[in-house]
Amino acid sequence: MRPRQAAAFTAYRRRPDQGAGISFIGAGTIFARRGGRGVEGITTAASLLAVAAIGITVGFRYHVLAAAVTALTLAVLTVLRWFERRKTAGTGARP
C-alpha cells in the first residue's frame, strides 16, 4: 500500500470508534426522572449523534450529502419542538 492509501484506510477504520465515543457522550445527556415518570435528553443525544455523522460525512468530502442530512436533521428537530410545545402547552409543564 502507498502511504496515501494507508492513511485513507486508517481513516475508514477510525470512524466506528468516533461514533462510539460520541454515542457514549450522548448517553451521558440522558436522564431518568425519579419515580419512573419519564426520561429527558433523548433528543439531545440523538442530535449529538446526528452532528457527529454530519461531521464524518464532511470529512469524507460528501458535502452535498452532508447538506441534505443537515436540512433533514433541522426539519425533524423543528417538527419535534413543535409537537413538544403543543403537548406541554395544555399540561402547564415546562417544555
Smallest Cα–Cα separation from 47: which of 67, 22, 66, 65? 22
Cα distances from 47 to residues 7, 30, 91, in angstroms, run 29, 12, 26
> Quick check: pTM over 0.85?
no
Return the domain boundaries, the chain: 3-91
β-strands 31-32, 39-40 pairing: antiparallel
Q: What does the pLDDT read at residue 68?
A: 96
* % of the chain residues with pLDDT over 90: 21
In the predicted model, what is the mean pLDDT of residues 69-94? 85
Smallest Cα–Cα separation from 14: which of 62, 55, 67, 64? 55
